[in-house]
Amino acid sequence: MNELFEDFAKAHTLNNGYLLAQTLSPVAPQNEPHRLRRIWQSTNSHSVKGDIKHFIKSQSSHRKYLDHDEINGWVEVYVAYWNALGEIVAGESGKSSWTKVYDSWKELTSMLIRGYNNAGFEAWTIPSLYMIGKYLRLFAIKSDDERSRSSTDNSGSSSLMQDDFDPELEKQGQLRDCEQHLKRIFTLCLNDRAPIEESRKWGIYFVINLLFKTYFKLNSASLSRTILKTLAVYNGKGDMPPLDAFPKAQRVTFKYYEGVLFFLEENYVQAEKHLIDAWQLCHKDAKKNAERILMYLIPCRLLTSHVLPTEALLQNYPKLQELFLPLAQCIKKGDLRSFDLALQKGEEIFVKKRIYLTLERGRDIALRNLLRKVFIAGGFDEPKEGEAAPVRRTRIPVAEFRAAICLFSEDELIDTDEVECLLANMIYKDLMKGYIARERGIVVLSKKGAFPGTGI
């Protein structure tokens, strides 16, 4: 335990919050795989409080003065940490559970929050909140998984007693509980009245990102809006440091979730803006993060700008290449049947990521490209007297469009009324400019910009 508080004292001397946070890690360093067990075995439940107080005083006395309240605050934190380590170590040998680990870590979270509220913990220590909050969420997820497996195993014997319980609500009970404690950390950071240079507000975006992850895991992404509205109020009053002043890792995560939130609300213009910000901030070697961003940015660009992903863009992301490249090729060719098959092939992932309905709208772009090919194949009208340049034929029989649609729908016979309906939708969605002359059986297209966004 002496080495633990040697690091504690060193962190306080240097005001190094990240070194301090490592003293509260539930994961042993790679070069010291038995560190947690050694800390746990260095004392016992009767002596732990006195031992920790002794170590804090002896290691800190010659380095940096800590007042009585702050010492007691850290003692309570490290006693709770020691208790949590006991559950973690016991769990390694199958003598504890993730639920007990979560409960003990939740107690540690409360002790740390109390330290900021009552013991005067300084703002440079906020990386400790990062460490505690991060693992509180992970332990809650592990606990819920464990409880879910246990519930499944015992479903036969306990089914008669389940009438009053909502299994879906109980399924993520620990994560829902975790969300309440993360909101306490959010409030702790947000309401700090210290000057910006010494404020806990520098921890706000890390906590917001944890809340975003929690809400999305709970399938309650809309609750993120409450956090953003609260943040906007403080930003409006000038009570928050600018986002650009925060670490890049926190900014890219925040922009990603903000973009996905707009995406789910079908505000694709704003979604694209935030996702592009996240993409530009993302480290070039963070392939998994870049893949997550592209999973939503590609459908956004398809709808807002009709831009398809290139092979060069996707070559470093095999998973995305498998999902999106066939769709992009089908859209470009106007191959409706193959587009439907490619969408069907990736349906499970598209539905899970909640991008299926957005990608389905890509069929309109594929249809537009097919109709454009018919328009180009129609060639030019005979130039009239005085016209130097030939003019494209703008009166296209509906039968020609029908033949092309049937051909690229695997020879499925589509009647003329249905084709006219499809053409009317294209005109309504501003993917094709013109009108249908039904009595003559033709489509009269605009002489300029017949197919917006394609250069024709």
Residue 205 in tokens: 């975006």
Q: Count, in order, helices (H) and strands (E) of the chain.
A: 23, 5
pLDDT of residue 159: 40
CA nearest to 293, candidates 350, 252, 342, 349 = 252
CA angle 74–14–133, rounded 5-degree value = 45
Distance CA 274, CA 257 (A): 9
Mean pLDDT of the chain: 89
CB burial string 242-271: b at 16+ within 10 A, e below: eeeebeebbbbbbbbbbbbbbbbeeebeeb
pLDDT value of position 301: 94
User: What is the Cα–Cα distance from 96 to 139, expressed in whole angstroms?
Assistant: 13
**Nearest partner of 177 among 141, 130, 225, 129, judged by Cα:** 141
Q: Given this model, what pLDDT does residue 154 score? A: 59
Weakly modelled stretches of the chain, pLDDT under 50: 156-167
Alpha-carbon distance of 371 to 236, in angstroms, equals: 49
Which pLDDT score, from 0 to 100, does residue 292 have? 96
Instruction: Report angle CA 443, 444, 448 to the nearest 5 degrees.
Output: 130
